[in-house]
Structure 1
Amino acid sequence: MPLRLIFMGTPDFAVPTLLALHAAGHEIVAVYTRAAKPGGRRGLDFVPTPVEREATRLGLKVLTPKSLRNDEAQAEFAAFNADAAVVVAYGLILPKAVLDAPRLGCFNVHASLLPRWRGAAPIHRAIMAGDVDSGITIMQMDEGLDTGAMMMREAMPIAPDMTTGELHDALAALGARLMPVALAAANRGTLNATPQPAEGVTYAEKISKAESRIDWGRPARDVHNHIRGLSPFPGAWFEFDGARVKVLRSTLGSGSGAPGTALDDALTIACGDGAVRLVQVQREGKKAMSAEEFLRGTAVKAGALFV
């Protein structure tokens, strides 16, 4: 049975769920997203969010309020008389008046197995911590930070060399598959709410560019997780020959030596314990390239120092 839905989301991660709900035949009465930001050449053009672009293409009504905490915004939201609101990486806090307005409530696609990795950067933090799995939790939203009851939960393995970009895309697709199922069950009254356990709570703090420099003194596995956890953005980096180089892909290597020292001429770099081999890099201001392409333009011999 088609539902009257409000969709609330902003980045690329939210787009697959919006498209899945539209394809399922639900009536999306409004799409809330963050306002367009200056961008393009010289910052003179306003660039809409990925969700706004797709909503406009689908002919849906788009709203970009700066806040939902005022009476006017809350009255406008309630006037849509929605059965449910679907929230995917929206970026604004939903006050109680908004959470309570839809008949079935507000449902969130969260990119972790709650209660692990509540907060802003669950995908990055899961990989940086070396987690072996992640997943999607469909959550009934409340006023807390990702503290609502779990309605659906499905795990996904994290491969040893998987990057944040790859896990992001896989989880976005999983969330898009689960949300229509959850809404249908909620409408039938068969969707069970499970409170989050008090044990196992962790918080995924927002990624800071200040933490992106590679520390070769850490164990190789930690360095590898750091690299793939920050790929493709903001990108873990080092300096070589006076230039900054991002590492977009790596794998565990073999050998040992002084941290930051090249162990061969194939970009195997010693860490505090073990080594990593760089697979894809990007010079500052240049396009991404394989290690082989990088080495054709930059001579790196065993014993070279990466800082």
Structure 2
Amino acid sequence: MKIVFMGSPDFSVPVLEALVHAGHEIACVYCQPPRPAGRGKKDRPTAVHARAEALGLAVRHPVSLRDEAAQAEFAALEADVAVVVAYGLILPQAVLDAPRYGCLNIHASLLPRWRGAAPIHRAILAGDLETGVCIMQMEAGLDTGPVLLRESTEITAQDTTARLHDRLSEMGARLIVEALQDLDALTPVPQSAEGVTYAEKITKDEAQLDWRKPAAEIDRQIRGLSPFPGAWTLHGGETRIKCLMSREAEASGAPGEIVSLNPLTIACGEGSVVLESLQRAGKGAQTAEVFLRGYPLQRGDVLGGKGGA
């Protein structure tokens, strides 16, 4: 098929590669514009932009698709279908209607649960037992269109957002290839009006740990915000430590108290968590064992601010 691909971050790259590998013609790749990044604040292309150029594909990165000129440019591609995955721009109706088969979205949740910007983070934070990928026919509403294909996967106690992100990205790549092979035979299934939830964008304000909360909630916060923005706590009221991987434990103590160093165990409002991966400013992520060699926490120290917050 002749495809317009629309995506921007790392999550979208395996999908683009799968479409190329399957032999589809990529008429053009749309992505977000390059933006300042890194210490020098030089413009850096998105992951999709970089990969598309490496594959020799035409790339466009309009700031908006709302003006008539941009819409006419899109329509002139005469695509059979547009495949959209984490693109980052709202598609006007003229764009949705331009391809022969419309626009298909790869969404990383089991719709209608977790419509919106951060479905992977929100699923872990909420303690969901499963999530998945939906191939959805796009319409004007936010992730409201009928679903053509879906597949689920278990969320385990070892899953961080990073791990689940990679698994769902590969799943989406496989599913969209399947969908395009049998597109005429697929029956769009309207989403249920029940069970609708919205995955609001993650903010840095959500990242500070409050050790007065139950261990189950702290553990989900750590894994759900790993690697970005990274759940964090303070030591000595000053040193910020990111906590990137954890598991629940049964030890008890005052909220925020380090009750064991081997393994590194922190008491919560109920139960405790074992911290398995940590990071200080200017350092990379480290296992707890390596971290303690360079930053000697002591048993009995209390993490967080006043009262464990």
Shorter-chain TM-score bucket reads: over 0.9
C-alpha distance in 1, partners of 2:254/2:167?
37
C-alpha distance in 1, partners of 2:38/2:97?
39
Q: Residue in 1 aligned with 2:216?
A: 221
Alignment CA distance shift 1:246-1:106 (3 Å): same
Q: Does 1:85 align with 2:82?
A: yes
Q: Residue in 2 aligned with 1:297?
A: 294
Q: Residue in 1 aligned with 2:5?
A: 7
Q: Residue in 1 aligned with 2:307?
A: none
C-alpha distance in 2, partners of 1:284/1:125?
26
C-alpha distance in 2, partners of 1:144/1:278?
41
TM-score, structure 2 as length reference: 0.96
Structure 1 unaligned regions, length at least 5: none
Alignment of 1:94-173 (within 5 A): 94-173=91-170
C-alpha distance in 1, partners of 2:295/2:79?
59
Q: Residue in 1 aligned with 2:233?
A: 238
Alignment of 1:35-46 (within 5 A): 35-43=33-41, 45-46=42-43
Q: Deviations over 1:247-298 (max 9, x none)?
A: 1110111211211111122321111110001001001111111111122223
How far residue 185 of structure 1 moved from its aligned partner, in angstroms, is: 1.2
Q: Does 1:264 align with 2:260?
A: yes
How far residue 304 of structure 1 moved from its aligned partner, in angstroms, is: 1.0
What is the DSSP-based 3-state SS (H/G/I as helix, E as strand, rest coil) of the residue aligned with 1:193? coil
Percent identical pairs in the alignment equals 56
Q: Which 4+ residue blocks in structure 1 deviate beyond 6 angstroms?
A: none
Letter in 1 for 2:160: T
Q: Residue in 2 aligned with 1:29?
A: 27
Alignment of 1:48-67 (within 5 A): 48-67=45-64
C-alpha distance in 1, partners of 2:47/2:295?
37
What is the DSSP-based 3-state SS (H/G/I as helix, E as strand, rest coil) of the residue aligned with 1:293? helix
C-alpha distance in 1, partners of 2:46/2:293?
38
Greater Cα offset, 3-12 or 256-265: 256-265
Q: Residue in 1 aligned with 2:195?
A: 200
C-alpha distance in 2, partners of 1:40/1:272?
38
C-alpha distance in 2, partners of 1:226/1:39?
27
Letter in 2 for 1:306: L
How far residue 105 of structure 1 moved from its aligned partner, in angstroms, is: 0.8
Counterpart selection for 2:303 from 290, 296, 306: 306
Greater Cα offset, 26-35 or 252-261: 252-261
How far residue 5 of structure 1 moved from its aligned partner, in angstroms, is: 0.4
TM-score, structure 1 as length reference: 0.97
C-alpha distance in 1, partners of 2:37/2:267?
40
What is the DSSP-based 3-state SS (H/G/I as helix, E as strand, rest coil) of the residue aligned with 2:156? coil
C-alpha distance in 2, partners of 1:265/1:41?
35
